[in-house]
Amino acid sequence: MDPTHLIPAPRSTHQVLPGVLCPLDAKTPLAAGPGTEPTARWLRATIGAATGLPLAPGAGHDTGAPGTDGAHGADSAGGVFLRISPEVERKLGPEGYRLVADGHAVRIDGGGPAGVFWGAQTLRQLLGPDAFRRAPVGPRETWTVPCGAIEDAPRFAWRGLMLDVARHFMPKGDLLAYIDLMAAHKLNVLHLHLTDDQGWRLEIRRYPRLTEVGAWRERTKLGHRASPLWDERPHGGYYTQDDIREIVAYAAARYITVVPEIDIPGHSQAAIAAYPELGNTDVIDTASLGVWTTWGINPNVLSPTDTTLRFYENVLDEVLTLFPGTFVHLGGDECPREQWRASATARARVRELGLAGVDELQGWFLGHFGRWLAERGRRLIGWDEILEGGALEAGLSQGAAVSSWRGYAGGIAAARAGHDVVMCPEEQVYLDHRQAPGDDEPVPIGYVRTLEDVYRFEPVPPQLTGADAERVLGAQANVWTEVMEDRRRVDYQTFPRLAAFAETAWSSLPPPPERDFESFQERMTAHYARLDALGVEYRPPGGPRPWQRRPGVSGRPIDGSPPIV
């Protein structure tokens, strides 16, 4: 495998011994320095399974004594050596790594444990696509790595993928598989959209009806909400708390943080169907509501009462025990105000709080929970609407971060206001949008966003410079699943574009017009073979395969180029 075929592209590569290959065989030991043991376990379980190589612990454990170039001291010993290197951390940061393969050994020095792991992912690519299988495909005594040196580090600390498991539930096994796919692309944040009008996917033991009722809908709209078609089968599912602990631990072993999203105060009909007192009971008969079966912006929003606040505080108490990361995503988007305007209870709360009107209730909700999370050492992150409706005046702390989805504008405003930002503009990195024009694309949604379009996505807009630009934590690709009923459909929409996105988030690329997309396409030739070995049902470059099409199921295609806003 040519090191120039790596995805994401590394920061630098150079040949050590041109034309010479470093062999790995049944006698090759794997020596793990302190702090690298999780990566050693991953190598044995993953690459070991694919190659049939035992990668037994080395009898002569590498001391890691550096030479003048920072290489390992056990230069005469063959094997695979893993080490955390302060020198690499100083030069490349904790997620950076140096991989050196000479004629007899492969050495991975990481700036921290994550850096060692990302180096191991690069080693897997260097071994060729068969290293991505789950078992050997034939007798092969020796595997080889091209001799060379790679130095690499990510551009951004937040390299995310949002999976919407609320609209269509993704079983745990499929979710774990996606964590592996993220790791293979050096992505490190999994944003789980766990609750919405169409389903509540997280067990909350204090409120069992959230999953007994809220996790199930009686039928599902097929295609865009204007479609006349229905899937009359009930749909649902949820993750138990033990499932979540397993998912979080599985991700953490791959240096991926899981960020939960609990949507408030809009997108909440599933919760109201389970506990009607959460809704605006003086406006509608909330007891008659079920889990929503179609798509769009739902008018049934949370009531601004103390009962609602205490309910979601109790929910979040359990959420915090399950997700140890810094951030909790609280949605905060697409919240209609009509029911609040009609509600005497909501208007009374506006007067009590001294707000200018019901439009500020959304900001009040987010300000309350921003403070609540900050008191517990966590940070709120939400869609860019959290900056509207008086949220800052209501006490939304500077520690809150913004997911900028309605173009770049929200992120620009947030960064200039002192907030950290994750760039995920709909027009660039919403992977539910169609990949090509034409009638063959299944359930076509939104603008055409090709592989090249995603490759030319730039997370930091030119309007941000200096300290404001530094507030861009990174980028995230979002996968909304209204028209993706199972993993095969998610695979089709997500790949191969996620590979292009991963490179924009990891690699230090030139400005978008100057990016060498032709070179990326050449590297994708090798990467398609890796995706094949992993069993990913991606969209082929020539268009969908017959079984990937969905004739007769209408979407919502938008013509023309998307606005850059």
DSSP 458-487: -SS-TT--HHHHHTEEEEEEEE--TT--SH
Q: 172-184 and 517-534 are packed helices; what angle lies between their axes, rounded to 10 degrees?
A: 140
User: DSSP assignment of 321-333, as one string?
Assistant: HH--SSEEEEE--
**The pair of three-digit structure tokens given for residue 86, joined into one six-digit string:** 């302060």
Catalytic residue among 318, 334, 522, 532: 334
Residue 89 is among the residues annotated as catalytic for this protein: no
Integer Cα distance of 400 and 267 in angstroms: 20
What CA–CA distance (Å, rounded) separates 475 from 403? 9
**Interatomic CA distance for residues 27 and 20, integer angstroms:** 20
CB 240, CB 272: distance < 8 Å? no
CA angle 212, 266, 272 (to 5 degrees): 30
334 is catalytic: yes
Using DSSP bridges, classify how beta strands 12-15 and 148-152 pair: parallel, antiparallel or unpaired.
antiparallel
The burial of 316, by beta-carbon neighbours within 10 Å (0-12 exposed, 13-18 middle, 19 or more buried), is given as: buried
Neighbours of 508 (CB within 10 A): 11
Instruction: Give the span between the Cα atoms of 116 and 95, in whole angstroms.
Output: 8
Q: Which residues pair with 149 in a beta bridge?
A: 14, 100
* From 191, 267, 329, 368, active-site residue: 267
* Whole-angstrom Cα Rg for the chain: 25
Tell me the residue type at 205. Answer: R
How far is CA 133 from each of CA 51, 80, 121, 470, rounded to the nearest angstrom?
8, 20, 14, 39
Give the Å distances, CA to CA, from 7 to 465, 537, 541.
28, 18, 17
Exactly one of 152, 164, 196, 427 is catalytic; which is it? 196
Q: What is the DSSP letter of 349?
A: H
**Reduced to 3 states, what is the DSSP secondary structure of residue 310?**
helix
Has 203 been annotated as catalytic?
A: no
Asked whether the bond before 557 is cis by omega within 30 degrees of 0, the reply is no
Q: Is the dihedral of CA 478, 483, 487, 491 positive or negative?
A: negative
Active site members:
196, 267, 334
